Amino acid sequence: MPTTAGSGANRPSRTELLHKLQRELEAPDLAVFGDTCRVGRYGAFVGSVIESHSQLPRAMDYARSHIAELALKGRSAASGTVILADRLSQGKGRFTRSWHAPPGGLWGCMIFADTLLPRWRGLMPLATGVSCCQAVREHCGVEAVIRWVNDVLVEGKKLAGFLVEGYREPILGEEYALIGFGINVNNGEFIGELENSAVSLAELCGGPVDLAGLTTTFLAKLACNFGILLAEEEFFLREGRFSGVAGRHLLLQRWLALSDSVGKRIVYGFDVVTAPQYQAEVVGIDEYGGLQLRHGDGTLTTEYSGEIRYL
């Protein structure tokens, strides 16, 4: 696979990342854990290794090759390894959609050794969207919102997209989740289907944004929110409920505070762009992050995959 080492100019330092994570643990909503160190301890794996490349075809493919190469040597990839690329030459979204990833954006993926219990794995994509939305708001002061599952939008335009892909390494059989992220930062030109539907932070802020700083903030938020996922799982197994208000999962509380999906009229589809299925109203999300919908005849359903567009 053709790769080239990046300059590292945009690569955050591990020390800086851990300092940022420490500050994340001061968030008031984490007080419910009493000992917030648990969240920090659980989340500190993010960025255990940070690789920077000037160009990759796809960060997810690179991650899979990296895991497989290590497995051939009888070794495992470090959970939390972050792979960054200045540019992706074959970036893609879901299904057959393209994702334009020229220099200036924050492109990459994180390797997560998937130790979450299966029923909570669906919250990983939500944690990723929450982390981006928080990072953009804090670093740039931009009022970003989340559209279920984890699209980050500003003024109705897509600022960032995420894709989580499972990967079972074939030699040792270890299971990983590859958390792919694409955030439009200083890249300003969008082509094809993205021309009228995407936006960059530089466009919103009226000038270039500190990419390295944003990367550090995003990874620190990711560390904190993955820390919450793991700490909440432990909390649930011990207490039989989550730590948030009325026993709700803290990550879902964060998601709800950042999302504008609830209350919206939407069109739903497994692939909503090519095959929209029906219209409904979003009434909430359930404990697994499923989207609760009210139909025209008053019946309620919950969707656990697929995507929505606002009407």
Partner 1 sequence: MASELALEEIFSRYKADPFDYVDVHSVHTGRVTFKAALGQEVVAPSGEWLQVPGTPLYEIDRERNPRLVGSQVNGIVAAVETQLDGCFVEAGVKLMTIKHPLKKKEIIENILKDVLFLFPAPETAKYFFAMDIQSRIDKKGARAVSVEPGDEVLTMSLMKRDTPIYYTGERGVIYSVYFKPGVSVPQGEPLFGVCAPEKLPLIQKIITRVKAEWDSEH
Distance of closest approach, residue 23 Cβ to partner 1, in angstroms: 29
Q: How far is the CB of 177 from partner 1 (least distance, A)?
A: 7
As measured in angstroms, the least distance from the Cβ of 180 to partner 1 is 10
Of 11 and 147, CB closest to partner 1: 147
* Beta carbon nearer to partner 1, 5 or 283: 283
State the nearest-atom distance from the C-beta of 300 to partner 1, in Å.
8
| Complex with partner 1: residue 40 or 125, whichever CB lies closer | 125
25, 36 in Cβ contact below 8 A? yes
- Nearer to partner 1 (CB atom), residue 121 or residue 157: 121
Q: Which is nearer to partner 1, 275 or 283 (CB)?
A: 275
3-class DSSP state of 291: strand
Contact positions toward partner 1, by CB under 8 A? 94, 96, 118, 121-126, 149-150, 162-168, 177, 240-241, 247, 269-271, 275, 277-278, 288-290, 295, 297, 299, 301, 304-307
- Which tokens hold the place of 185? 């930062």
Residue 57 contacts residue 85 (beta carbons within 8 Å): no
Give least dist CB 194 to partner 1, A: 18
Q: Residue 83 in contact with residue 63, Cβ under 8 Å? A: yes
* Cβ atoms 131, 230 nearer than 8 A: no
The answer to whether the peptide bond before residue 149 is cis (omega within 30 degrees of 0) is: yes
Q: Which helix (H) or strand (E) holds 83?
A: strand 82-85
Amino acid at 173: G
| Separate counts of helices (H) and strands (E) for the chain | 7, 13
